[in-house]
Amino acid sequence: MSAAGFQLEGERTPLRELIADLWASRPLIAILARKDFYVRYRRAAFGLTWAVGLPLLQAVIIAVVFSRVVHIHVGTSFAVFVLAGMVGWSYFSTTLATAATSIVDGSTMSTRVYFPRAVLPLVQVVANLYGFAIAVVVLLVLAPLLGVGLGARTLLLLPATVVLVVLTSGVCLVAAALHVYFRDVRYLVTAATLGWFYLTPVFYPRRLASGVLGWVVDINPLTGVVELFRAATGGADPHWAALVTVSLGWSVALVGLAAVLHTRYNRVFSDLL
């Protein structure tokens, strides 16, 4: 233990071993994710409706308010434009809120039996896919009803989902590892999410952000993800492909950082809980 009093030294977990253990933990992740999702809404009167209802309500409110107060031309239905942005953002923010503290919150289970601690944040990543899938279906149903035709471009929802899940996994794995050492991460994530929402073009087109703000929006990891969802339903920024490249870069970097943290500290996480 160092002079700081909380830094424990432990044997590194080889990356190949960590990946193999995570692969072997797939049934555990699936079981815990399914349990987490259904328990979350089991006693609610409207059950799974809340999983989609809350993000949809927020999207409707934003669409109505901004269409009435600020007339923004997006080249497509403004409601679909906002909903396409909310689908990815809601999944990311909801998952991060629970996954960032998952290793500490799951200390009772993780100190009794060994499994890679990375399993716990990944459980949240998978659990929220249930609600995300329903939200995508709602988007696909509402788009034609609101005058947005669907076609071959709709297939872009597949790569959009992959990039979103990989990016979310990277952020959550990093945050969950850091939270074991720095319990302020819980509050930092809450504060960061509030500002992050407005720096992500969920309810406004990218072109409205200029200067330094435009640069910040461009390097935002979620901007490319949101634009890729929009490319599948219409209303995407003309330079959406370049923005997606930025998101891919962030995804690779964050997953790499997560690998470093979890291979280095996987064996000592439980000693710090």
CB neighbours (10 Å) of residue 27? 8
Q: Is 104 helix (H, G, I), strand (E, B) or coil?
A: helix
Q: Which residues contact 117 (CB under 8 A, 6 or more apart)?
A: 103, 110, 176, 177, 262, 266, 269, 270
pLDDT (average), residues 110-116 = 75
Highest mean pLDDT among 59-73, 100-114, 182-196, 238-252: 238-252
Taking phi over 0 as left and psi of -120 to 50 as alpha, with beta for the rest, 211 belongs to: left
Query: How many angstroms separate the CA atoms of 195 and 255, rounded?
Result: 23
Q: What pLDDT is recorded for position 77?
A: 80
Average pLDDT, the chain: 85
Q: Measuring CA to CA, which residue among 114, 85, 93 is closest to residue 24?
A: 114
Query: How many angstroms separate the CA atoms of 136 and 57, rounded?
Result: 15
Query: How many angstroms separate the CA atoms of 235 and 80, rounded?
Result: 9
Q: What's this model's pTM, rounded to 2 decimal places?
A: 0.87
Q: Which residues contact 177 (CB under 8 A, 6 or more apart)?
A: 103, 117, 258, 261, 262, 265, 269
Task: State which amino acid sits at residue 173.
Answer: L
Query: How many angstroms separate the CA atoms of 225 and 132, rounded?
Result: 14
What confidence tier does 182 reach under pLDDT thresholds 50, 70, 90? confident
Higher pLDDT, 236 or 250: 250
What confidence tier does 11 reach under pLDDT thresholds 50, 70, 90? confident
Query: How many angstroms separate the CA atoms of 76 and 100, rounded?
Result: 36
Q: What is the pLDDT of residues 258-269, one digit of tens each?
A: 999 999 888 777
Looking at residue 11, the DSSP 8-state letter turns out to be P
Q: What is the pLDDT of residues 70-83, one digit of tens each?
A: 667 777 888 888 88
Query: How many angstroms separate the CA atoms of 194 and 106, rounded?
Result: 25
Q: Is 114 exposed, middle or buried (0-12, 13-18, 19+ CB in 10 A)?
A: exposed
